[in-house]
Amino acid sequence: MNPSFSSYLVNDVFGDPGVYVEVRWSKRALLFDLGHNDGLGPTRLLRAGEIFISHTHMDHFIGFDAVLRVALGRGKTLRLFGPTGLIDNVHGKLRGYTWNLVDGYPLTIEVREFHGREIRQTSFRASNGFQPSERATVPAPPTSDPLFTVLEDPMFMVKAVTLNHRIPSFAYSLEEQFHINVNRQKLHEAGLRVGAWLKDVKHHIWEGKPDDFRFTVPLYDEHRRVEQEFMLGEVKERFLTISRGQKIVYVVDARYDEENEAKIIQLARRADIFYCESPYLDCDAEKARDRYHLTARQAGLMARKAQVRDLVVFHFSPRYTGQVEALEREAMEAFQGA
Ligand SMILES: [Zn+2]
Ligand SMILES: [Zn+2]
């Protein structure tokens, strides 16, 4: 199976936390948290159009400037999602600079904050000197589930849960609605080639078009342009395999307590990759709790309970410089039940 998402840590395990997710076969990427991120370089920073913030402690937000700098002057809408206070924090960042010569710039920054019962949204436009638009407030759909939807896209869904870090800290899951695999051999046998038309087919499926939906596909005849009509259901049956989608979960900055643990396990259930902070070794569990952070063993235990496939631990405290292996071993032993 060719996975649709390719994800990795923005920095090394002692660096500022963050995960970058490339959406394959599109020029699209998602970014979880905005710590120091110069290492991504301008092309990847520019590609990250949707950014999910856990909370705005400095190590999770100082990289806002780097993204702003590459996006400025490009025709782009940048969308930020996060907890209460994000709008004010973005406004504060923007107010730190002088904007008298950007009125011709097309950048818009949309910020969406999730409060238990409502969602607040504001946009900042370069053409307006980044003055905030009036805040729009919409009621959040009522639910008893601690998980809530932050972004719904035809291809994937981003959900969040609020964790206790003495302030709200959001943990996120990114889930592909389902995965579409193309059987190239069968395409070839039918005289069809891989091309842009397959992308259209995927969009038809993501949009939920019915099986009798008809469309034309170009056939590659060397001498003339030929098209053949297909029904969506026929293409699915002959050339595609539709399976469970990929799931990636990002958890940072949270205390280990019963409530946080239950929420994290629910969010991470059966994830393919579980990125989980583990700043402390378990011998310092008390310190971790005082600072509202997790230990490596706690991360491993939760990964085990959530039955994830892979665990990646990171956001290590500098006190363990030179002890990467000890932190990783502790997490893996708890994860594998050794
Ligand atoms: Zn924090
Ligand atoms: Zn942190």
Q: What is the CATH number of the domain that holds 170?
A: 3.60.15.10
- Bin 334: left if φ > 0, else alpha if -120 < ψ < 50, else beta: alpha
The total number of residues shown for the chain amounts to: 338
In a domain, 154, yes or no: yes
The pLDDT of 24-45, averaged and rounded, is 94
Where does a domain end: 241, 265, 280? 241
The pLDDT of 268-284, averaged and rounded, is 98
Q: What is the pLDDT of residues 158-179, one digit of tens each?
A: 999 999 999 999 999 999 998 8
Per the structure, the complete domain to which residue 236 belongs is given by 179-241
Q: How far is CA 311 from CA 11, 172, 293, 333, 335, in A?
A: 17, 15, 17, 11, 8
Alpha carbon of 18 to ligand 2 centroid (Å) = 10
Alpha carbon of 270 to ligand 2 centroid (Å) = 25
The total of structural domains in the chain comes to: 2
| Ion ligand 2 neighbours, Cβ < 5 Å | 59, 253
Alpha carbon of 57 to ligand 1 centroid (Å) = 5
Judge if 225 and 327 occupy the same domain.
no
Which ligand minimizes its atom distance to the CA of 291?
1
Alpha carbon of 22 to ligand 1 centroid (Å) = 25
Judge if 203 and 329 occupy the same domain.
no
CA angle 322, 59, 12 (to 5 degrees): 35
Q: Alpha-carbon dihedral of residues 235, 240, 244, 246, nearest 10 degrees?
A: -110
CA torsion sign, 98 to 53 to 164 to 334? negative
In a domain, 45, yes or no: yes
- pLDDT value for 26: 79
CA distance 44 to 84: 27
Where does a domain end: 197, 218, 241? 241
Alpha carbon of 335 to ligand 1 centroid (Å) = 24
CA distance 328 to 301: 13
Q: What is the pLDDT of residues 46-83, one digit of tens each?
A: 999 999 999 999 999 999 999 999 999 887 899 999 99
CA distance 195 to 178: 21
Q: What is the pLDDT of residues 226-261, one digit of tens each?
A: 788 899 999 999 999 999 999 999 999 999 999 999
Q: How far is CA 122 from CA 98, 308, 314, in A?
A: 20, 36, 32
Alpha carbon of 207 to ligand 1 centroid (Å) = 38
In a domain, 148, yes or no: yes
- pLDDT value for 143: 82
**Residue 169 CB: number of other CB atoms within 10 A?**
26
In a domain, 263, yes or no: yes
Judge if 292 and 162 occupy the same domain.
yes
User: What does the mean pLDDT of the chain come to?
Assistant: 94
Judge if 39 and 187 occupy the same domain.
no
In a domain, 79, yes or no: no
CA distance 75 to 245: 31
Judge if 155 and 289 occupy the same domain.
yes
Q: Which of 126, 93, 96 is nearest to 108 (CA)?
A: 126
Judge if 35 and 153 occupy the same domain.
yes
In a domain, 9, yes or no: yes
Would you state the structure tokens that stand for residue 331, as one six-digit string?
A: 């997490």
CB 20 within 8 A of CB 194: no
Q: What is the pLDDT of residues 78-127, one digit of tens each?
A: 999 999 999 999 999 999 999 998 888 999 999 999 998 899 999 999 99
Judge if 150 and 268 occupy the same domain.
yes
Where does a domain end: 241, 259, 282? 241
Q: How far is CA 193 from CA 180, 187, 221, 222, 234, in A?
A: 17, 6, 11, 13, 16
Judge if 261 and 315 occupy the same domain.
yes
CA torsion sign, 74 to 79 to 82 to 86? positive
